[in-house]
Amino acid sequence: MPFDNENTYIKMVEKHQETEFHKKYEEALKLVTKYFEMEYPNLVVEKIYEKDKLEHVSPLDGKTKVGTFQMSSKETSEKAAKIASENYRKWFNIGYVERSRIFLKAADILSQRKFEFSAILSYENGKNRYEAMGDVDEAIDFMRYYALQLIENEGFIKFTGTAYYGEDSKSVMKPYGLFLVVAPFNFFSITVGMTSGPLIVGNSVILKPSSDIPLSSYKFVELMHEAGVPKENLIYLSGSGGRVGRTLYTNELVEGVVFTGSREIGMKIFREAQEKRPKVMVTEMGGKDTIIVTSKCDIDKAAEGVARSAFGYSGQKCSACSLALIDEKIYDEFKEKLVAFSKKLSVDDPRKKDTFTGPVINKEAYDKFINIMSTVKKEKILLGGDVKKMDGFYAENTILDNVEDPNIERVELFLPILAIKPMKSLEESVKFVNSMDYGLTGGIFSEDKNEIDYYFENIDVGVIYANRRRGGSTGAMVGSQPFVGWKMSGTTGKGTGSFYYLQQFLREQAQTIVRA
């Protein structure tokens, strides 16, 4: 079967089913409340309840209790590692075709329940309906794409010929054993993709979800078990990264770690996990995503592309534009149009149909926004700059004019804060971007092919776009736009949703048989 992106909303609009989309979503918003205020166990073959608990409250209002989850103990974590490590060979030995079949079945189940999962995300991490559905769609895409890649590559088994007379040799890619997945809050699809990669090729996986999206992650693991993944091979453990994560990533039975999150935590795991011996480390550690706007751009297109990239999901995407470098010849005109367009992007309860930007994820992010803005001079604030006076954790979409503060210009903020800066030339802008520690996503707006070519040839960034109005540095699609970080943004140089991704979780074995 050929791979096709799920793209629910776009496809329903094309079929004149937009009204049906909204009806199904709003029905799901009511349906999923039945899952709230319940206690959810760890899933370590059996259900395990711990002494210590975690309460998750929705950022929509700061009041709605999504659920109670377990703070995994050291004993439970070590038990999980032992079970998962001992049983990975059984999962690998069912063969790549059967594992792929199970993943395709799981993708179909998730597709049937996608409105339910997207509604959970709106409550759980505050995504509007379009972004929540896009997130679930991407999760489905990851499962299908990796399954089809595994089949297309015949399980990564390749005959390598005869070195000496009478010998037959082949290369067989085999799993390491057990991977720990430490997932972020901002994308359910990242949780699914990070889990799917090592699991589908035959490893066992322990998923330690973000404490800000524990319910959707729990439901995902349940779904995978329903589809046929053995409970011994996919384990769910909730809890804090410092307590649960460290117990596991330093455990001798854990062969590799898949991490998405902050640079600080990513580097801590990278160092400590390998203190005793090498382990596979697949990490994505964010970005300082910058869009360059040249004097040869379509200014309306550029203003929209920058704003959508900066303020989609409250700037809480590792691909969100938080810095825009604008040719000084058009700086004032661009600034005016950027502010005008950004004012149209409503900040409100994401359950509402017309909301573009919802809340930030939690009180910590809310307070961080307040603290950052307390350092900015009022005359530098072109738009926003304050929190919203409403229940929940809402911050205004904020544009800052040439702040020249490295703590804003060069640090990942993960908030709806966009800094803009005048530049003399494209060459100067590219040099500025390349001087960054990060290299995740970026973009350019220019109608000049030579400028675009120069940008593509010289920028040290993993994912780049030219003239993308829907989001100048955001929105990579599985299969066609691998999502990969350079420099401090990642450790492997190979992207998710890519034909290179799965081999990172396999090790090569050369096998030779001598004929009698």
Rounded to an integer, what distance in angstroms lies between the CA atom of residue 220 and that of residue 216? 6
pLDDT value at 1 more than 80 = no
Q: Note the pLDDT of residue 135.
A: 98
pLDDT recorded at residue 267: 93
Distance CA 175, CA 505 (A): 6
**pLDDT number for residue 92:** 98
Q: Is residue 242 over pLDDT 90?
A: no
43-89 residue pLDDT tens: 999 999 999 999 999 999 999 999 999 999 999 999 999 999 999 99
pLDDT at 207: 98
Hey, is 100 helix, strand or coil?
A: helix
C-alpha distance from residue 460 to each of 49, 79, 90, 484 (Å): 47, 43, 42, 12
Instruction: Report pLDDT digits (tens) over 162-204.
Output: 889 999 999 999 999 999 999 999 999 999 999 999 999 999 9
Percent of the chain with pLDDT over 70: 100
Give the pLDDT confidence score for residue 516 in this predicted structure: 72
Quote the pLDDT of residue 240.
Answer: 85
**pLDDT band at residue 241 under the 50/70/90 scheme:** confident
pLDDT tens track for 425-480: 999 999 999 999 999 999 999 999 999 999 999 999 999 999 999 999 999 999 99
Kindly report the pTM of this predicted structure. 0.96
DSSP letters spanning 419-472: EEEEES-HHHHHHHHHTSSEESEEEEE-S-HHHHHHHHHH---SEEEES-TT-T
Say whether pLDDT at 243 is over 90: no
**First and final C-alpha spacing in the chain:** 41
Q: What is the percent of the chain where pLDDT is above 90?
A: 96
Is the distance from CB of 430 to CB of 447 less than 8 angstroms?
no
Confidence of residue 110 (pLDDT cuts 50, 70, 90): very high
Handedness of CA 145, 492, 221, 252 (dihedral sign): positive
Q: Average pLDDT of 316-332?
A: 97
pLDDT band at residue 515 using 50, 70 and 90 as cut-offs: confident
Q: Which residues face 235 on adjacent strands?
A: 206
Mean pLDDT value of segment 261-286: 92
pLDDT digit string, tens, across residues 370-414: 999 999 999 999 999 999 999 999 999 999 999 889 999 999 999
d(CA 74, CA 87): 20
Q: Across residues 263-289, what is the average pLDDT? A: 93
Residue 10 has pLDDT above 80, yes or no: yes
Give which of 261, 301, 282, 262 is closest to 443, Cα–Cα.
301
Question: How large is the average pLDDT for residues 141-164?
Answer: 95
Arithmetic mean of pLDDT over the chain: 96
Is 106:142 a contact under the CB 8 Å cutoff? Answer: no
Active site (catalytic) residues: 284, 318
Domains, the chain, in order of start with CATH, read 12-60+73-285+492-514 (3.40.605.10), 289-478 (3.40.309.10)
